[in-house]
Amino acid sequence: MIAIDLRGPRLHIRRARLEDAPASYRWFANPAVTTFLPLAGTATLPMERITAYLTRVATSDRPDLAVTIERIDQGPIGCGGFRSFDGDAAELSIVLGEPSSWGQGLGTEAMELLLSFAFGPLGLRRVWLIVRADNQRALRLFRRMGFVVVETQVGVVVVDGQPRDKLRMELTR
């Protein structure tokens, strides 16, 4: 099992654990957090699904390598990780679940740590992600990190009766 202990000036990223379930449940029940996620602000993840997932990923690196993002002075503020491993490529995801942590550069710090881990210990050469085309905050972050759009998935998700596009973005080492 790969050790995960990523540290930045304000953040610590570690392997997800079962005790992260209450925070994850709170985040994924908050429409402000899930607005751009597949839940699209309209549903919540049942605690049973969250605990089953965390139980599985706490002791395994594949098919998902899940992490918890902690603010050093506050505790858990988000989650993320890698999945869909394919040779030297994987999908990256990140969610800052605590709205009080938004707009402080913590997403940038978390992405820098995760990308360093991806291109270092994980040995990946390509990282990709999926983002809704109308998620301007995430798009700014991902473009700043060097991600480029490689595919537009037109109208693949419907939110409030309106079709929305998703973008597949990639970063190559």
Domain count, the chain: 1
Instruction: Report, as ranges of residue numbers, the positions in the chain whose pLDDT lies below 70.
Output: 39-43
End-to-end CA distance of the chain: 23
Selection from 78, 72, 71 nearest residue 93 by Cα: 78
Q: Is 5 exposed, middle or buried (0-12, 13-18, 19+ CB in 10 A)?
A: exposed
- The C-alpha atoms of residue 63 and residue 90 are separated, in whole angstroms, by 10
CATH of the domain at 28: 3.40.630.30
Q: CA separation (Å) from 136 to 63, 86, 109, 166, 167?
A: 29, 28, 18, 12, 12
Residues 6+ apart with CB under 8 A from 167: 130, 131, 132, 133, 139, 149, 151, 152, 153
Whole-model pTM: value is 0.92
User: Residue 168 is part of which domain span?
Assistant: 5-172
Give the model's pLDDT for residue 113: 98
Q: What is the amino acid identity at position 161?
A: G
Report pLDDT for 49: 87
pLDDT tens digits for range 86-134: 999 999 999 999 999 999 999 999 999 999 999 999 999 999 999 999 9
